[in-house]
Amino acid sequence: MNTRALILDFGGVISRTLFETHDLSEKALGLPNGSLTWQGPFAPEADPLWRAMQADEISERDYWKSRTAEVAKLVGQNWNEMSDFVRAARGADPDAVIRPEFRTTIAACKAAGVRLAILSNELDLFYGADFREKLPFLKDFEVIVDATYTGILKPDARAYEQVLQELGLPAADCVFVDDQLRNIKGAEALGLPAVHFDVMAPSQSYAEALRLLDLERTDP
């Protein structure tokens, strides 16, 4: 069995963020163009709630709880969970918003025998348990650790330790990718090589992950 592994956050690492797909969300929700104005990391100066989250004044879950309530009010719904928002905004085909850079990266890993894992704080909480059934590529991930069920959120050291234990690998033989700096710092504190994923430069972020794995990605 290969002694290297790529461990990915889900969220903005694997799929295009909700910030990037406002046009698709507005269309799916029947909202006029320009109704959704928050831009998170793409325009933090205009998103005070995002800045509060980055400053650890609120959690990521708090951020999306607020946005869910905000959008629910716009469309006259009473959504209780973030997954209600995602289902409505992303429709029946979540596969359509998966990053192409992610697809080429996992193809390179599979070809080289590098093992694949996901470490998420809210995979099923945000997307709904049935979301996984619509993403065939998840079968390539031998380990999925989701704090929706474990209750242990990154950057708690136990979250990283669990995925490493399930892989049966030491931290030094893995590469972790996440778009939140606090989670990168948590990984690095355990000696887990990490890439702070830039949602505005996904190709470069994946290239760095492959470089750390001694691999090169060939774009189609």
Q: Would you state the structure tokens that stand for residue 194, as one six-digit string?
A: 């990490």
Lowest mean pLDDT among 35-44, 76-85, 181-190, 203-212: 76-85
Q: What is the pTM of this model?
A: 0.88
- CA neighbor of 136 nearest in space, from 88, 112, 103: 103
Q: Is the pLDDT of residue 220 over 60?
A: no
Query: Residue 73 — pLDDT band, cuts 50, 70, 90?
Result: very high
Locate the domains of the chain by residue range.
5-16+98-212, 22-93
- CA neighbor of 177 nearest in space, from 201, 154, 193: 193
Q: Is the pLDDT of residue 20 over 90?
A: yes
State the Cα–Cα distance between residues 32 and 15, nearest whole angstrom.
24
Per-residue pLDDT tens over the stretch 94-113? 788 899 999 999 999 999 99
CATH match for 5-16+98-212 among 3.40.720.10, 3.40.47.10, 3.40.50.410, 3.40.50.1000: 3.40.50.1000
Q: For the residues 128-140, what does the mean pLDDT come to? A: 85
State the Cα–Cα distance between residues 21 and 211, nearest whole angstrom.
29
Query: What was the pLDDT predicted at 196?
Result: 98
3-state secondary structure the chain: CCCCEEEECCHHHHECCCCCCHHHHHHHHCCCCCCCCCCHHHCHHHCHHHHHHHCCCCCHHHHHHHHHHHHHHHHCCCCCCHHHHHHHHHCCCHHHHECHHHHHHHHHHHHHCCEEEEEECCHHHHHCHHHHHHCHHHHHCCEEEEHHHHCCCCCCHHHHHHHHHHHCCCHHHEEEEECCHHHHHHHHCCCCCEEECCCCCHHHHHHHHHHHCCCCCCCC
- Is-contact 67 183, C-beta < 8 A? no
Q: Is the pLDDT of residue 90 over 60?
A: yes
Q: For the residues 37-62, what does the mean pLDDT come to? A: 95
